[in-house]
Amino acid sequence: MQTTLVTAEWLKAQSAEEIMIFDATYFLPTMGRDGRSEYNKAHIPGAVFFDIDGIKDEASDLPHMIPPAQHFQDVMQNLGLKAGQQVVVYDNSPFLSSARAWWMLRFFGHQAVAVLDGGGRSWKAVGGTLTDKVFDLPKGTFQTGASAKANVITFDELEQAVRAGLAGQIVDARASDRFAGIAPEPRPGLRAGHIPGSLNLPISNILDNITGKLKPADELSQLFTEAGLEMEQPAVTTCGSGVTAAGLTLALAVLGKTDIRLYDGSWSEWGASDAPIET
């Protein structure tokens, strides 16, 4: 059972009938690109689109908060996911959006899920073909369950901890200029800056800019250390809207660290509130 990363070579050798492949490509609102449109034009054969923007809590005004368990179960069943089936998630995003789908599936109890290291780029690099064929799978048997080491922290919990000086380690995956408050946020109406006391490790820093793969474990460990993270202490990951925070969570899982809570609302929620900020 694969639970963090798989290689394109490994995926190519598997039976398409046994594995569920999700394309979780996602782009920021300012990028002028659309994940579903690109999926419709070309994707790994057999892959089904995992809509990060669509699989969300419809009652929330925030971009893509975790949906209620029943809603997530219904969507996964409708996409054809079977109970216990090995899932491989990939993307063609510049910031590892597949990690968000990986994290959500684990949050709802699906343990057999891994990210394709290097995404669509690595698939093409090993001679993998692409298709525009979209088909419906039979309804799946997926059932939500207890979290598979994927945990969340709410705004109220985090704000109370920050105001009391008890928040511990918070790692922000946004670009350093957004973290510093010197670049505008891609979503309107948000203050600039970061959660007081938080650390910064931009998601782009943990990826190889040639291959798109996660950097080797020793380099990842060094990057987290240089950012100020103490690996033996629990941590919270955050970002702009809960997507790239999952990329940091994935990288930490590769290093064996799972005592992490993801702040789902991230800066979309914190930056729009009256909670304290730093620049």
Q: Say how far apart CA 260 and CA 147 lie, in whole Å.
A: 12
Considering the candidates 47, 239, 253, 260, report the single residue annotated as catalytic: 239
Q: Say how far apart CA 106 and CA 269 lie, in whole Å.
A: 23
Q: Say how far apart CA 105 and CA 103 lie, in whole Å.
A: 6
Q: Which of 174-178's residues contact partners 24+ apart within 8 Å by CB, and which partners?
A: 174/200, 174/202, 174/203, 174/239, 174/240, 174/244, 174/267, 175/202, 175/204, 176/200, 176/202, 178/240, 178/267
The answer to whether 239 is a known catalytic residue is: yes
Helices (H), 13-60: 35-41
Q: Taking Cα atoms as reference points, which of 163, 148, 243, 150 lies closest to residue 195?
A: 163
Q: Which amino acid is at 1?
A: M
Tell me the three state secondary structure of residue 182.
coil
CB neighbour list of residue 18: distance below 8 Å, 6 or more residues apart: 85, 86
Residues with a catalytic annotation lie at 239
